Chains A and B, each alone.
Chain A
Amino acid sequence: METTAVKKYTFKDFTSDQEVRWCPGCDDYVILRSMQKALPEMEVNKEDVVFISGIGCSSRFPYYMNTYGMHSIHGRAPGIASGVKLANPNLSVWIMTGDGDSMAIGGNHFIHVLRRNIDLNIVMFNNEIYGLTKGQFSPTSLVGQKTKSSPYGNTQPPFSPGELALGAQARFFARIGGNNPKDMTQIFIEAHKFKGTSLVEVLQNCVIFNDGCFTNVTDKDVKEDKQIFLEHGKPMIFGKNKDKGLVLNGLKLEVVTIGENGITQEDLLIHNAKEQDPTLHQMLVRLQYPIATGVIRSFDDVTLEEREDALTAQVKANSNFKKVDDLFFSGETYIVK
């Protein structure tokens, strides 16, 4: 990939001939289009891009991309994607998954892929519901949420994907509203550039089974007041009038208003996504008001491939075994005449 000049593309080059079969109005269309727009900016050849998915609405994604792709089995995309990447490290490998696919049936793979830090990208479509099986509660559904499998209200407390991911040592975590293609496109590019496993959580509305689940955070009218869009090196500021921000009060984040109680912009926290210590990132991930979006964590760390490559180079340099015959005829052999 490094040696060949990267071809120039437009989003059309990444559009497959397959008819898109998501429900009209679904945020998945926004994710698809954002990815098709982001890819030409990534300086990667089309043949080197691979989308791997599991099962669920999100997992239809590979069919709609004119790249290599695999629609695999429920929850297992991280294993398959890991194999693809380890087999050919030149590829840009994407796991397209949902809240159920990644954190219920695929929960084990999800935490381990994050722990290992292979250079992969994960996009999680979080709609807090099972869509494809027509409306059961998922691991991110809220307590009390009425669904087909919880007619009297869900009794299982939810995961926060970011909290779980950071607990599993995720080095890159971003969150974005499903109705925000502009920032989503940029975040996909950031995720691609990041060396290591990146996770992007998309707050994705399910128009059929959980309509409006993020309305109070993502709607145009409220999003500036309800979201804080984080950028590395910039103050943690939000609000329509850019007059609110975050400070640290003891062990808690606190929302303050600039101009009140003598607070100025200078008092606000500066976002450091590259910090190794995830403590503040965890607080941001857990924050209920405002909801943190943007790249929350982006800590550069050694990847699994780098460790493996270094070991392989070392072993190769010190070994007399170049061909299997060298091994087969080595050591304790004996001759029968």
Chain B
Amino acid sequence: MVTTTTNHQPEILEAVVIRFVGDSGDGMQLTGTQFSDTSAMFGNDIATFPNYPSEIRAPQGSLYGVSGFQVHIGSVEVSTPGDNLDLLVAMNPAALKTNLYALKPGHTIIVDTDSFSKKNLEKALYQSNPLEDGSLENYRVIQVSMTSLTKEALKSVQGLDNKSITRSKNMFALGIVYWMYDRSIEHTIEFFNKKFKTKPHLIEANTKVLNAGYYFAETLELIPNSYTISPAKMTGGTYRIIMGNTATAWGFLAAAEKSGLELFLGSYPITPATDILHELVKHKHFGVKAFQAEDEIAGICSAIGASFAGDLAITTTSGPGLALKGEALGLAMMIELPLVVVNVQRGGPSTGLPTKTEQSDLLQAMYGRNGESPVIVLAASTPANCFNYAYEAARLALEHMTPVVLLTDGYIANGSAPWKVKSINELSEIKNNLVKEVKEDWHPYDRDKDTLARNWAVPGTPGLEHRVGGLEKDSITGNISYDPENHEQMTKTRAEKIKRVKNNIPEQEIEFAQEGDLLVIGWGGTYGSLHSAVKQLNDEGFKTIGFTQFNYINPMPKNTEEILSKFKKIIVCELNDGQFAKILKINYSQFEFLQLNKIQGLPFANNELTEKFKQLV
């Protein structure tokens, strides 16, 4: 083990990555959230990612019952939850066993020695106790009998059963980590005061244990030194920590208020999209109508009905659900109604890797319907900008009278990061195509001459009664038409309508080198990984690498070709087998697109990217 010296002046670090892991019931999500919230309020930039088992209540102590929460905090810009750990807090042997791989050599593990019983070691399939057999000699192991110390701290508190006592040991761990990273415990105590308002004994108990952990760390020489991470340089303003799925839900709330329409969600539970439903059902105070349907198809169909009747309508799902919604999405495209379909992508195909992340539904979003059926496709790229792209998806659907598929993924949907809170006043206007009065010679498929959006006459409007449907319709009257020329014209018109969205979206931007040797291209949720890798190389002196992340996939921004032409080499990085690269090749066949693909249900690791990019310049 590493010899230690006591040092009361905290050492200053730029960034650290900490993972809290324990049994599903050990409260690791709460512990991690408290640490990250406190750090954010201290002024650090943060990024977090939860990692929990797909089993709801896995057997205690088992390897597959381990639940974790990773947080990356920095005085510099932090754009991913981090790859390798500086600190691993493991509450039992199973947690240690399943997470040790991620810890940097020489770095610190905090364990609860009380949990390293013979039984728990066996459950974690350890032949011998790793705390005793020397297998951890390359790490700094801080052994704390947390369960006993927690019990000791709570001796004097009345009204606690044994289970509540044991369950508060996570706060002992949090206390230690707060001391190690020079954080105040005040925020968490405030949290207890709010959360346990009506249960004063729980406020007392949790506060006592948190304090006990903190003072234990301070007085104990086992803990070598403390660190601090100075506040990051962030634009001034009001911030909050937000999860991607919450940000998505809030983007729609904002779009509904801004557009003056009521928000309707039709949805069916599916991992990892369900949190959007969970969030929106809470907001009845804004008049949100959230309808949990009997299946994915009814989810989108109810949204299509609501859109026909004049609501801002959305449906939320993940890959398999998008497959089920395909036919109805085609109908929405055909009858040209505004609709947003959110696909929080997960590992596929079929049931695939439901709790892991992947970007493999891009081609499904683009082409997964019968017939020629183009729709707008957008992709959010960070937990916080899920807000922007949900808002943008709603804006484009309403302004262009078309379905929009918004792609996020499990990584950004469950990750959280600081969000500079946007007031509704800062958001762009949202127009719509509603017609409220009878006009001379009116037809339901009359179009705006610039956007080609048809007008939106909703039931309840006198004089505009009309029928829409999935059958091809006459380009003028909207009546059923099997005329060959008309079908071709309508098909081209629907395609042209989507192409013209180019005129209503911002230009694509390049970060770092504006021209040069290598352009790194990504799309959607890989922004954090790619941005940090290119930034690191830039800091190391590789000044000819540029980076651009696409959020507008269909159509792509107007200046895409121009950007592509500024670099000698182009590499498209994505968490699939090359789907965006295929789209680029179709549209910009004059360029050569190199590929970096990963299909492991995991985000890109920093070194995978930097090594590849270095080879190319």
Contacts and interface: CB of A to CB of B under 8 A. Distances in A.
Interface in B288-308: 289, 291, 293-295, 297-308
Contacts, number: 206
A48 B469 contact: no
A249 B234 CA distance: 82
A120 to B, nearest CB: 10
Interface stretch (A172-180, A278-286, A320-328): A320-328
A84 B308 contact: yes
A316 B460 CA distance: 26
A148 interface: no
Contact of A323 (B257, B465, B480): B257
The interface size bin for chain A is 35 or more
A48 B459 contact: yes
B460 A336 contact: no
B26 interface: no
Contacts of A328: 240, 250, 254, 421-423
Contacts of A47: 459-465
Given A79-B301, A337-B236, A311 B284 contact: yes
User: Which of B40, B264, B306: most chain A Cβ within 10 A?
Assistant: B306
B239 A108 contact: no
A333 B305 contact: no
B309 A329 contact: no
A96 B572 CA distance: 50
Interface in B274-330: 283-287, 289, 291, 293-295, 297-311, 313, 327-328
Q: Main SS of chain B's interface residues?
A: mixed
Nearest to B468: A70
B305 A73 contact: no
B297 A333 contact: no
Interface stretch (A60-68, A201-209, A250-258): A60-68
A337 to B, nearest CB: 5
B47 interface: no
Given A82-B291, A87-B306, A90-B460, A334 B239 contact: yes
B10 interface: no
Contacts of B306: 83-84, 86-87
Interface in B188-244: 231, 234-241
A62 B266 contact: no
A80 interface: yes
Given A78-B298, A84-B309, A321-B285, A91 B423 contact: no
Interface in B435-475: 458-471
B254 to A, nearest CB: 5
22 contacts: A49-B459, A63-B469, A69-B466, A69-B469, A70-B335, A80-B302, A82-B298, A82-B302, A83-B308, A83-B309, A84-B305, A86-B291, A86-B302, A87-B289, A88-B459, A88-B460, A109-B297, A316-B287, A324-B424, A332-B37, A336-B231, A336-B237
Given A80-B305, A86-B306, A87-B311, 4 more contacts: A67-B465, A86-B305, A87-B262, A311-B284
Interface of A: 16, 18, 45-50, 52, 62-63, 65-73, 76, 78-88, 90-91, 108-109, 112, 308, 311-312, 315-316, 319, 321-325, 327-329, 331-337
Interface of B: 37, 40-41, 43, 231, 234-241, 250, 253-254, 257, 262, 264, 266, 283-287, 289, 291, 293-295, 297-311, 313, 327-328, 331, 335, 420-424, 458-471, 479-480
